[in-house]
């Protein structure tokens, strides 16, 4: 019996994937930015490669009111700025918000939003968007969630879906920092080298670059030896699990979109402005240059 509703804001790979999985058991509305995508989804359904089209979704535009019990923000960090008016003036303050962005810059404003429950999440599944209506689930992983305020009651539909593999993490800041470090190594390098995630650890030359970058990041974030070991292994695991994936940053550049480089390497640089971070600075400028070129 459907007793709770979920609104997913963002028609990218992760938003569409979550909608296709959750809509089988619960009322799901997918909010997209472009009318063309909405019309295509109405005509063709949401298609996950190898599965029948999902047609029992409510398709809305992001400009429409968000009325669902749980709102999942599945947009990139740059897009959050345009959604701030909605977040600062909610129609229903008792709604729950789940943020699943890369990077950590959004922490500066989400903690004090006037909602009862605010959760941050880290999606470690591999998903690719092939067309406006088609996605490919390329690697099964997990979703880690940490509650900034409120409780986990609103997450029950996600927790009860085994294929999502949702875990509740008490130390949400460390969880986000784990994700930040992985993204800071994988995303810029795959975007600059134009390779799939798995190539970072297959190519001995790329491994050396990744190790040098990781050393700078670990120094900037003042990691302990234990954290360094754990996070390096975590990066390897993600690259293996999503070996055939194009990172989100590479996909953004290929599609002429802004990347999340400011929220990832920009955030790390701002944690240690006085430090000597030549590799981070070089990669940051390289990605910004490729953005400008596009």
Q: Which residue's entry shows tokens 């922490």?
A: 107
Q: Are 70 and 6 in contact (CB under 8 A)?
A: yes
Distances (CA, A) of 282 to 230, 259, 285: 26, 16, 5
Residue ranges with strand state E in 134-241: 134-139, 143-149, 166-168
> Strands 134-139 and 126-129: what pairing?
antiparallel
Would you state the structure tokens that stand for residue 32, as one six-digit string?
């997209």
Task: Using the Cα atoms of residue 259, residue 260, residue 265 and residue 270 in order, give the sign of their dihedral.
Answer: positive
Lateral strand order in the sheet of 47-48: 47-48, 134-139, 126-129
Q: Is 111 annotated in the active site? A: no
Report whether 283 contacts 192 (CB < 8 A). yes
Report d(CA 117, CA 218) in Å as an integer.
32
The catalytic position among 179, 233, 273, 294 is 179
User: What's the DSSP call for residue 266?
Assistant: I
- Positions marked catalytic: 179
């Amino acid at each position: 019996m459907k007793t709770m509703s979920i609104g997913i804001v963002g028609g990218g790979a992760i938003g569409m994937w979550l909608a296709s999985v959750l809509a089988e058991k619960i009322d799901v509305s997918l909010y997209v930015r472009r009318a063309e995508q909405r019309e295509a989804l109405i005509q063709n359904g949401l298609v996950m490669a190898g599965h029948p089209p999902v047609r029992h979704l409510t398709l809305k535009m992001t400009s429409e009111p968000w009325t669902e019990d749980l709102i999942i923000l599945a947009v990139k960090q740059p897009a959050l700025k345009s959604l701030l008016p909605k977040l600062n003036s909610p129609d229903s303050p008792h709604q729950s918000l789940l943020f699943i962005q890369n990077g950590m810059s959004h922490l500066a404003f989400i903690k004090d939003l006037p909602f009862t429950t605010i959760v941050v999440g880290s999606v470690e599944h591999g998903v690719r968007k092939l067309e406006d209506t088609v996605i490919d689930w390329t690697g099964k992983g997990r979703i880690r969630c940490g509650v900034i305020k409120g409780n986990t009651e609103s997450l029950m539909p996600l927790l009860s879906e085994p294929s999502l593999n949702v875990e509740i993490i008490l130390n949400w800041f460390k969880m986000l920092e784990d994700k930040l470090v992985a993204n800071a190594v994988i995303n810029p390098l795959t975007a600059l080298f134009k390779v799939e995630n798995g190539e970072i650890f297959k190519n001995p030359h790329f491994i050396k670059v990744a190790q040098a970058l990781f050393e700078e990041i670990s120094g900037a974030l003042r990691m302990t030896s234990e954290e360094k070991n754990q996070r390096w292994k975590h990066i390897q695991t993600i690259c293996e699990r999503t070996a055939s994936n194009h990172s989100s940053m590479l996909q953004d550049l290929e599609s002429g979109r802004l990347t999340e480089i400011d929220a990832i390497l920009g955030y790390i640089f701002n944690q240690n402005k006085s430090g000597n971070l030549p590799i981070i600075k070089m990669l940051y400028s390289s990605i910004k240059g490729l953005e400008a070129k596009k």
